[in-house]
Amino acid sequence: MKKIVFAVAVLCIAVAIVLVFALRPASGPVLRVEPAGERDIVLEYGQTYEEAGAEAVAWEGLSKDRIVPVETEGTVDAQKVGTYMVRYRARYKDSVGTAYRRVRVVDTQAPVIQLSGGQDQYIRPGEPFVEEGYSAADNYDGDITAQVQVKQTDDAVIYTVTDSSGNVSVATRRLLPADTVAPVVTLKGDKRVVLAWGDGYPEPGFTAVDNCEGDVTSRVKVSGSVSIYRPGTYTLTYSVADAFGNVGSATREVVVKEWEPAPEGEANGNGKVIYLTFDDGPGPHTDRLLDILKAHDVKATFFVVDTKYISTVKRAAEEGHAVGIHTATHVFKDIYASEEAYFADLEQIRKQVETYTGTSPVLMRFPGGSSNTISKSNKGIMTRLAALVEEKGYTYFDWNVDSKDAGGATTPEEVLSNVIEGVGNKSHSVVLMHDIKSYTVDAVEWIIRWGKSCGYTFAVLTPDGPTCHHVINN
């Protein structure tokens, strides 16, 4: 029995010794690893992750000035949402130190919903809502239009979309009742205006008011026009549209009466004379011009060129018009090359006129007028020619009213306007026109009617009548 007790005692002592040595602290160094910065980082998707690293810190038995390298394991993809663990580990002899950093890449930005056609849609009574379109884009998921949930209520359409991170966006399109009432256009003055031939048309004016937008007068458009020299009935339309496309309009009728000549004794009462002169013809419109002049018993002066219509000068002379000469060729560089060249050209057209009229013409007009600058390459030639033509028995004429039908005017109205402005209060008006222009011939009847209504008389130029000379520039 004593032997058993002894054996148990020995065994207990042995176990105690083993436990003492097993629980005794190690005598070697122990490492501690410390990550630099935060151990738990939240990073927004798309931001840049910068690794801060870690360091080994002395614990027991390790000198503080000893540098122990720290290994970094694990990567962070900032372009992908998720949780990433970075492990830092250091080893010294038999001691190992370990630490971790958690990096969470998150997406907190909500998607963006775009509504086509704006946030408000106007619907007319009884019309259904028509979707104008929408799109949804997320900074992480990209195009998520297909995931948009659409819900329509009585007064709105609600668009909702959720991205893969749970971010929610909502957009609302308001459904508003559309305006169906057109603006009201009100004309000032009479709705039917009667004008005497040639009277100006002063627009009486108008206003426009919309039930939603108020005064929209500035947006009124007037279509149609009035020619105070063409008898007839004209319709002017005044229209304006509101923001909903409702169009309001009104019309005015303008009647231009036929021309009525001034009463006998008044037409010639002021003693002012208009000389209608035509250059560069005859042309395809000259016969029509002669018809107009004959119908109004008006005589004109023609400064002609050698054209294929030259025979028309015979009719002009027979009907009492003055036929003067202008140039045979109208080629300035050749005509003004020398005095001899000029008179050779002039003689050519003189013979043509004499052939058809039986009379040698004495009236003439220089190509470009006596004040032309085209001839300046031949210094002083216009001064010399002006004296020479008079020595040879010619009387030359320039003009003091330019219809501008050879440059600027392209319609009968413009020709007439230029003539009226040019005549002004002149006692004698020599009007430059060209019978090769159809719109000029169209304007002649208007010019005659206007002149007679204002008390002017029309006459032909003569060698012993008033002349019209420009200041010679060469």
Where residue 20 falls among pLDDT bands split at 50, 70, 90? very low
CB 381 within 8 A of CB 371: no
User: Would you say the pTM of this structure is higher than 0.85?
Assistant: no
Q: pLDDT per residue over 91-120, tens digit each?
A: 887 888 999 999 999 999 999 999 998 888
Cα-Cα end-to-end distance for the chain = 163
Q: pLDDT per residue over 215-243, tens digit each?
A: 999 999 999 999 888 899 999 999 999 98
What is the rounded average pLDDT for all residues in the chain?
Answer: 89
The domains located in the chain, with CATH, are 31-106 (2.60.40.10), 112-177 (2.60.40.10), 184-256 (2.60.40.10), 273-458 (3.20.20.370)
* pLDDT, position 64: 56
Whether residue 61 has pLDDT greater than 80: no
Edge-first strand order for the sheet with 40-44 is 40-44, 95-106, 82-92, 70-73
* pLDDT, position 11: 52
Where residue 29 falls among pLDDT bands split at 50, 70, 90? low
Catalytic residue among 163, 179, 210, 279: 279
Average pLDDT of the residues in 459-467: 93
Q: Is 163 a catalytic residue?
A: no
Catalytic residue among 285, 321, 326, 434: 434
Q: Residues of 73-84 as b/e, b for ≥16 C-beta within 10 angstroms? A: eeebebeebeeb
Query: Residues near 213 by Cβ (< 8 Å), separated by ≥ 6?
Result: 183, 242, 243
What is the largest distance, in Å, between two alpha-carbon atoms of the chain? Answer: 183
Whether residue 453 has pLDDT greater than 90: no
Give strand ranges (E) for 50-140: 54-60, 70-73, 82-92, 95-106, 112-115, 120-123, 134-138
Where residue 192 falls among pLDDT bands split at 50, 70, 90? very high
Edge-first strand order for the sheet with 214-215 is 184-187, 206-210, 214-215
Q: pLDDT per residue over 253-280, tens digit each?
A: 999 998 877 665 554 446 799 999 999 9
SS (H, E, C) 406-431: CCCCCCHHHHHHHHHHHHCCCCEEEE
**Measured between alpha carbons, how far is residue 385 from residues 85, 172, 375 in Å?**
108, 87, 11
Q: pLDDT per residue over 300-355, tens digit each?
A: 999 999 999 999 999 999 999 999 999 999 999 999 999 999 999 999 999 999 99
Q: Is 77 a catalytic residue?
A: no
Average pLDDT of the residues in 382-390: 96
For residue 420, report the phi and psi dihedrals to the nearest 5 degrees: -60, -45
Tokens of residue 150, six digits = 């659409």
Whether residue 414 has pLDDT greater than 60: yes
